[in-house]
Chains A and B, each alone.
Chain A
């Protein structure tokens, strides 16, 4: 591009910057309009005789955190590193308080204009320590939930391998159905977390759309490259299986986040429910990875790696969710998992379309439907 072309491209940018400056600047039409401060109480931890609150400025203007309270009773407290928060900045509010286990608490944070923000914790529970033991517990939970079920699912490979072409198409379509369900499931979860925890100014739904879209396009690009370079050695079957693994891995990271957060928040019953539910659910993901490999031999070593790529992110997710839960990163990861699942569903569907009967054959339609139903049933059984 010549400098002239670049300059021509910059002109509208400069003009629009000028327009924005005029609108928002002194003397502009918004002069004298004070935007309201907004904060989000992202995390509440109950430690020894102290309540620790992570506060993020999610409003359009800087805020000062000036007071903490428990159940609407003012408490001497401290804010670290300091109470002045620029946009998106966080601080930790330390409220010394002899809290009682299992009792509900409303945690209040007051900002400089006197507005009080509140977050209710249903039942106080001691925060989990950040140590090796806890890391081990979370890794174990992630393994039970993600890694082992995926490998159990992969054990279907010998069975799938003995099937005829039509049945393989059925299982591939089933895989696409599973992935579509996973994509919707993750998106719904991401929207739920954002609606519950993110301030309105964060545009939670659009954050989900943008994250999912970017993940979709990134995987699309990578799979396109894999297909066009033919660098896969054993052909596009391995490529498809790998894409499925990556997509499922991203999705499992999101599930790991949810599990880790539940464990660290001390909701034991809920974590058992999550663990068992996800484990059952994730076994079906093994089929998704195995199906594209039905026609290939000598894949054992690669199968292990595929299983790790798909399952191990659950452990990483459990660590992230357990030790550093933040609603924004949760929403982003869940949305990325969603976009990845959709993209992989598309990749698998394309693969199926090349098989006998294309996309409209009864075994393909039946497989898709079966995939959706299996996922739905396994999601409600536990």
Chain B
């Protein structure tokens, strides 16, 4: 080999390496898609849009269905008392798309997170046939007043079909959470074993457009911090699917904070204030405000009506949570 050709080869090889690094891969022509940023800019892309706001309709759990769904149970009468019977099945093997594209092993009561909203009137007998179809021990622990053996703490229900019947008189009036109480407790709660238990006063509350909002979060990478927050599980869902309400109609929100890891959560309403009934146990509101702060399992009833039509945001004013999904909108329809 001549030195000159050797040099030429070295330089050529170096140039080739350089080109290999510099040249972009070939691309094929594809259809442009558009999406809108948080600040309203319209962006075009030839690739895929990654946006929980605009693709949330594809996820498995339907927050719209959950929002206004109340389970009154199989009703019968015994000695003049109303009996409400439920069958609740716990599982821990489901993998659910909790945000578009994000698959997470949820532990569920009756297949959803949150579990069904159990609703009874004060004094009714609530009878729950609980079946544990999971691979771990689970229970149901209700907040409220009941005998010790119905507390779902010491009466561990074994996996693979273990059963227990919870029976107690519904009370006190208000909105309460129920959740699994097997250790490690945090793990059982954050995977999704929780739901809402509403006890109506005898004679009921004034007519209203009623809805349930469980404020929850998911730590999908198990680092002790929530990756997602939401009202009713799916991040940003009600921002993309506004909750339609009527102008001047009373709206009643049963809000329950089930967020773990973060000490507080809160609920801020735009363009309005609400009457707040902590735990829903009193008929007199404690506050007329647009902001309440909720600690773990703290809950209450929010009552309001809108004077003007239009779209109004509601969200955590701990804005980290709202930027990770706990944000939604009410679309107030004016009189037609």
Chain A residues near B (Cβ < 8 Å): 49-50, 64-68, 72-83, 91-94, 96-98, 110, 112-116, 222, 225-226, 229, 231-233, 238-239, 242, 245-246, 249-250, 253, 302, 305-306, 308-309, 312-313, 316-317, 319-320, 323-324, 326, 329, 333
Residues of B219-237 contacting chain A, CB below 8 A: 220-221, 227-228, 235-236
Q: A67-B102, A78-B49, A115-B221 are in contact. Are A319 and B6 (CB under 8 A)?
A: no
| Partner pick for B52 among A65, A67, A81, CB 8 A cutoff | A67
**Cβ-Cβ contact count across A and B, 8 Å cutoff:** 158
Please report the C-alpha to C-alpha distance between residue A67 and residue B48 in the assembled complex, in whole angstroms. Answer: 11
Please report the C-alpha to C-alpha distance between residue A231 and residue B1 in the assembled complex, in whole angstroms. Answer: 6
Q: A66-B50, A115-B221 are in contact. Are A323 and B45 (CB under 8 A)?
A: no
Q: Are B14 and A114 in contact (CB under 8 A)?
A: no
* Residue contacts A-B, CB under 8 angstroms, 30 given: A67-B52, A72-B320, A74-B235, A74-B324, A76-B51, A78-B43, A78-B45, A80-B45, A80-B48, A81-B28, A83-B48, A93-B50, A96-B37, A96-B43, A110-B220, A113-B103, A114-B104, A116-B220, A222-B6, A226-B6, A231-B3, A233-B2, A239-B3, A245-B7, A253-B14, A305-B4, A306-B7, A320-B18, A329-B21, A333-B17
What residues of chain B lie closer than 8 Å to A112, measured between beta carbons? Answer: 101-103
Please report the C-alpha to C-alpha distance between residue A92 and residue B24 in the assembled complex, in whole angstroms. Answer: 12
Q: Are A78 and B50 in contact (CB under 8 A)?
A: yes
What residues of chain B lie closer than 8 Å to A302, measured between beta carbons? Answer: 3
Q: Are B1 and A229 in contact (CB under 8 A)?
A: yes
Q: A77-B51, A329-B21 are in contact. Are A66 and B2 (CB under 8 A)?
A: no
Interface residue B35 (Cβ < 8 Å from any Cβ of A): yes
Q: Are B37 and A75 in contact (CB under 8 A)?
A: yes
Min CB gap B24→A, angstroms: 8
Please report the C-alpha to C-alpha distance between residue A320 and residue B21 in the assembled complex, in whole angstroms. Answer: 6
Excluding A110-B220, A113-B220, 7 further A-B contacts by CB distance (< 8 Å) are: A78-B35, A80-B46, A81-B27, A81-B47, A97-B37, A305-B4, A313-B14
Min CB gap B306→A, angstroms: 28
Please report the C-alpha to C-alpha distance between residue A61 and residue B36 in the assembled complex, in whole angstroms. Answer: 32
Min CB gap A46→B, angstroms: 16
What residues of chain A lie closer than 8 Å to B3, measured between beta carbons? Answer: 231-233, 238-239, 242, 302
What residues of chain B lie closer than 8 Å to A306, measured between beta carbons? Answer: 7
Chain B residues near A (Cβ < 8 Å): 1-4, 6-7, 10-11, 14-15, 17-18, 21-22, 27-28, 30, 33, 35-39, 41, 43, 45-54, 98-104, 218, 220-221, 227-228, 235-236, 320, 323-325
Most buried by B among A76, A91, A313, A324: A76
Q: Are B7 and A64 in contact (CB under 8 A)?
A: no
Q: Are A67 and B38 in contact (CB under 8 A)?
A: no
Min CB gap A296→B, angstroms: 12
Min CB gap A329→B, angstroms: 5
Q: Are B45 and A115 in contact (CB under 8 A)?
A: no
What residues of chain B lie closer than 8 Å to A98, measured between beta carbons? Answer: 39
Min CB gap B50→A, angstroms: 5
Please report the C-alpha to C-alpha distance between residue A232 and residue B52 in the assembled complex, in whole angstroms. Answer: 67
What residues of chain B lie closer than 8 Å to A91, measured between beta carbons? Answer: 47
Closest to A332 in B: B17
What residues of chain A lie closer than 8 Å to B320, measured between beta carbons? Answer: 72-73
| Partner pick for B43 among A68, A94, A226, CB 8 A cutoff | A94
Q: Are B35 and A81 in contact (CB under 8 A)?
A: no
Q: Are A76 and B1 in contact (CB under 8 A)?
A: no
Q: Are A67 and B43 in contact (CB under 8 A)?
A: no
Q: Are B323 and A74 in contact (CB under 8 A)?
A: yes
Please report the C-alpha to C-alpha distance between residue A333 and residue B17 in the assembled complex, in whole angstroms. Answer: 9
What residues of chain B lie closer than 8 Å to A94, measured between beta carbons? Answer: 43, 45, 47
Please report the C-alpha to C-alpha distance between residue A250 and residue B17 in the assembled complex, in whole angstroms. Answer: 11
Please report the C-alpha to C-alpha distance between residue A163 and residue B38 in the assembled complex, in whole angstroms. Answer: 73
Please report the C-alpha to C-alpha distance between residue A222 and residue B13 in the assembled complex, in whole angstroms. Answer: 14
What residues of chain A lie closer than 8 Å to B21, measured between beta carbons? Answer: 320, 324, 326, 329
Q: Are A114 and B323 in contact (CB under 8 A)?
A: no
Most buried by A among B14, B220, B221: B14
Most buried by A among B3, B52, B102: B3
Please report the C-alpha to C-alpha distance between residue A308 and residue B10 in the assembled complex, in whole angstroms. Answer: 11
What residues of chain B lie closer than 8 Å to A114, measured between beta carbons? Answer: 98, 102-104, 218, 220-221, 227
| Partner pick for A67 among B36, B41, B45, B99, CB 8 A cutoff | B99
Min CB gap B223→A, angstroms: 8
What residues of chain B lie closer than 8 Å to A93, measured between beta carbons? Answer: 50
Listed from nearest, the 6 A-B pairs whose CB atoms lie closest are: A114-B220, A66-B101, A80-B47, A78-B45, A76-B51, A73-B323
Q: Are A231 and B14 in contact (CB under 8 A)?
A: no
| Partner pick for B100 among A66, A97, A319, A326, CB 8 A cutoff | A66
Min CB gap A266→B, angstroms: 20
Q: Are B48 and A116 in contact (CB under 8 A)?
A: no
Min CB gap A120→B, angstroms: 16
Min CB gap B198→A, angstroms: 31
Min CB gap A61→B, angstroms: 13
Min CB gap B286→A, angstroms: 32
Min CB gap A277→B, angstroms: 22
What residues of chain B lie closer than 8 Å to A326, measured between beta carbons? Answer: 21
Min CB gap A255→B, angstroms: 13
What residues of chain A lie closer than 8 Å to B41, measured between beta carbons? Answer: 49, 96
Please report the C-alpha to C-alpha distance between residue A91 and residue B27 in the assembled complex, in whole angstroms. Answer: 12
Q: Are B6 and A81 in contact (CB under 8 A)?
A: no
Please report the C-alpha to C-alpha distance between residue A326 and residue B325 in the assembled complex, in whole angstroms. Answer: 33
Please report the C-alpha to C-alpha distance between residue A249 and residue B6 in the assembled complex, in whole angstroms. Answer: 13
Please report the C-alpha to C-alpha distance between residue A336 and residue B130 in the assembled complex, in whole angstroms. Answer: 66
